[in-house]
Structure 1
């Protein structure tokens, strides 16, 4: 287990987290519990970048994560999701190692990109096999724990996934339609808070960051995935069909965030004022 923790004794509110993700199952640190928590978290807490798009800072402090994702029922991106989940898993007795990945989504698998994504390697007591858990990869977030076993197609409540290999690194791949797509590559080097702080600051403030210049949100439901890319809403059903919509006004966008992503904005006025900045592509 890594020798750092974000939470002091009693600081992390596990009960509030469980209520937020509507998890009511057994809390014993088993594979079934791990898989259930990953599924419930992914469906309940959306991926979204409203803070950086609106020029607000993204804090990775545990109290800020709980306040935003749990108390205020908002979403966030990979660092926020997986740091919060890490605290819950540690509280339950799992062994958790935080890792960093290079996002490749749709690009060549040998392309070298920054380590801008967070994921977790989780050990289950009395189980020799480690598992990969990631509740923060946007439109293709795995909705189950994955075996660290290269080349094995693994069923999840949504798409099949597999762990692959490239030049000794691990990859995570998803079956999209009839093609395997590499989402990201990573190794097993443990990461610490400073590693995520640097990437988090860059993605949330740099003028060329796509999280600063555009709007994105994603959430899986039991039978579909919702994906918002700027003004385009895509709904991908598990039967292979898709719906595509263009949001023509700020009111449509705010309603879409509420209805499909369960994001209730305390004050929607900043988003209304920024609507014209959202690329219309």
Structure 2
């Protein structure tokens, strides 16, 4: 990449590589149905993971670097990375995309501003698109919808909050995050992303995780060396892996090839954890 030239979005070759990464051969013209197919494909192909934090890799909120991580390195990421990269793909396909700031809700208590990055896509109306929140909706949600919205992953609602146009997003009645309606630039998320990546008070620095939904409505997660399978009915099974078994599980379940376990210094083998 020529860093002397301003970034102008994905090239046709980069767009084709990104679509291949998520297994989409024909994205179609921008529409609600096409957007839903793209979101589902992204969620099922690109894992939610925070491994860079535990591998000593910098988290760089720069569109070309994010796309290269997901596509060329076949990795995943957390909200800032996944949704920012997906926004680049959608824009290259002709979608009108805005970055929205969210505050993750712990009960009714909101986290800090810019705690979460989600997307607004304007088509026949405003849609909430989110491929970076872990267990969440499989399909886009109407931002202007005021009733229950059925989804394969649960029942969602977007509920107005306060006098400044904010909205609370609920999943099966439980609050997930509070959205600021104003569009932001990716650079606005850098300070909170840095805090999430470095602070001992951030839950992202406390443990490593890697997770993907399964085709039958369940989920597969690696948390440390624990392989967790959650069925669509909520049944959960866990298996403790060895260090080498954990590296094999990253390859088998997530397509991620690592030379060491997250949290281990470079040059140190996987061990027998």
Structure 2, unmatched stretches of 5+, are 1-5
CA contact (8 A) 1:100 1:191 kept: yes
Indicate whether 1:234 and 2:228 are aligned: yes
- Note closer, same or farther for the CA distance 1:207–1:27 as it changes in structure 2 (3 Å cut): same
TM-score for the superposition, normalised by structure 2: 0.86
Shift of 1:159: 2.3
Hey, what's the Cα distance between the residues in 1 that align with 2:146 and 2:224?
Answer: 34
The structure 1 residue matched to 2:193, chosen from 197, 200, 203, is: 200
The within-5 A match list for 1:42-191 is: 42-104=43-105, 107-124=106-123, 127=124, 129-138=125-134, 140-168=135-163, 169-175=166-172, 180-191=173-184
Residue 150 to residue 230, structure 1, CA distance change in 2 (3 Å): farther
Contact in 1 for aligned 2:145/2:157 (Cα 8 Å): yes
Q: C-alpha displacement at 1:256, in angstroms?
A: 2.5
Gaps of 5+ in 1: 1-5
Check 1:31–1:14 CA distance in 2 against 1; reply closer, same or farther (3 A cut). Answer: same
**1:253 deviation in Å?**
2.1
CA distance in 2, matches of 1:184, 1:24: 33
Q: Indicate if the aligned counterparts of 1:232 and 1:246 stay in contact, CA closer than 8 A.
A: yes
TM-score, normalization: structure 1?
0.83
Report the alpha carbon displacement of residue 111 of structure 1 after superposing the two structures with TM: 3.6
Q: 1:29 to 1:150 in 2, by over 3 A?
A: closer
Give the 3 Å change call, closer, same or farther, for CA 257–208 of structure 1 in structure 2: same
Distance in 2 separating the partners of 1:7 and 1:23: 24
Checking the alignment, whether the CA contact within 8 Å between 1:231 and 1:247 is kept in structure 2 is yes
User: In structure 1, the residue corresponding to 2:213 is in which secondary structure?
Assistant: strand
Distance change >3 Å, CA 7–CA 36, structure 1 → 2? farther
Q: Evaluate the alpha carbon distance shift between residue 232 and residue 172 of structure 1 in structure 2; reply closer, same or farther with a 3 A threshold.
A: farther
The answer on whether the counterparts of 1:46 and 1:219 sit within 8 Å (CA) in structure 2 is yes
Deviation at 1:184, TM superposition (A): 0.6
Equivalent residue for 1:260? 253
Where 2:149 maps in the other structure, the secondary structure is coil
Cα pair distance change 1:217/1:270, threshold 3 Å: closer
- 2:242 alignment counterpart: 249
- Cα deviation per residue 1:149-207 (whole Å; 9 max; x = unaligned)? 344222223222221233352112212xxxx2211111201111221111221111223
> Once superposed, what is the RMSD of the aligned Cα atoms?
2.4
